[in-house]
Amino acid sequence: MTAADRPAGARTVDELLAEARGRLRRVEPGEAAQRAEAGAVLVDTRSVFQRDRDGAIPGALVIERNHLEWRFDPASDARVPEATGYDVEVVVLCDEGYSSSLAADSLRALGLRRATDVVGGFQAWKAAGLPVIGP
């Protein structure tokens, strides 16, 4: 499919990702760990399959991607206790750092201005030698 075939205003996923990342100050795994130690909420959006296969991050809040906005919107009845307001710092990670950028940008659109994600996701976290439980 060519750009001429797309409806007006349609963007590719690569364009959406670039736009999202342009609004984020992404963090490396080591900085994410430091932020979590300082009180940021580290959120693992990977599927149960990925966590079972590769392990989990101790202390990370597990919220699969399809529930994230409802769990962190301070105005939502489905929010988690960690969603204390619009100023909460949320650091999202997925498996490799792609969907987490879109997720963090979505949280920012909800008003959580301190939301960001981890460059390289869980795989970079693990490669950096940061704590992992399992698999």
CB 86 within 8 A of CB 113: yes
48-97 tens-digit pLDDT: 999 999 999 999 999 999 999 999 999 999 999 999 999 999 999 999 99
- Amino acid symbol at 92: V
**Nearest Cα residue to 100 out of 9, 26, 38, 48:** 26
pLDDT of residue 41: 98
In the CATH hierarchy, which top-level class contains the domain 26-127?
Answer: alpha beta
pLDDT of residue 1: 61
What per-residue confidence (pLDDT) applies to 6? 81
Reported confidence tier of residue 9, pLDDT bands at 50, 70, 90? confident
Amino acid at 43: V
CA distances in angstroms from 99 to 14, 30, 47, 62, listed in the order given:
11, 20, 12, 15
Contact assessment for residue 81 and residue 41, using Cβ atoms and an 8 Å cutoff: no
- The whole-number average pLDDT for the span 123-130 is 98
- Residue indicated by tokens 């202390």: 59
List, for residues 12-55, the tens digit of each pLDDT value: 899 998 999 999 999 999 999 999 999 999 999 999 999 999 99
Q: What is the pLDDT of residue 5?
A: 83
The Cα 110–Cα 56 span in angstroms is 27
Question: Do 92 and 121 form a contact (C-beta atoms < 8 A)?
Answer: no
3 has pLDDT over 70: no
Specify the range with the lowest mean pLDDT, choosing from 7-11, 35-39, 123-127: 7-11
Q: Would you kindly state where each structural domain of the chain is located, as residue ranges?
A: 26-127
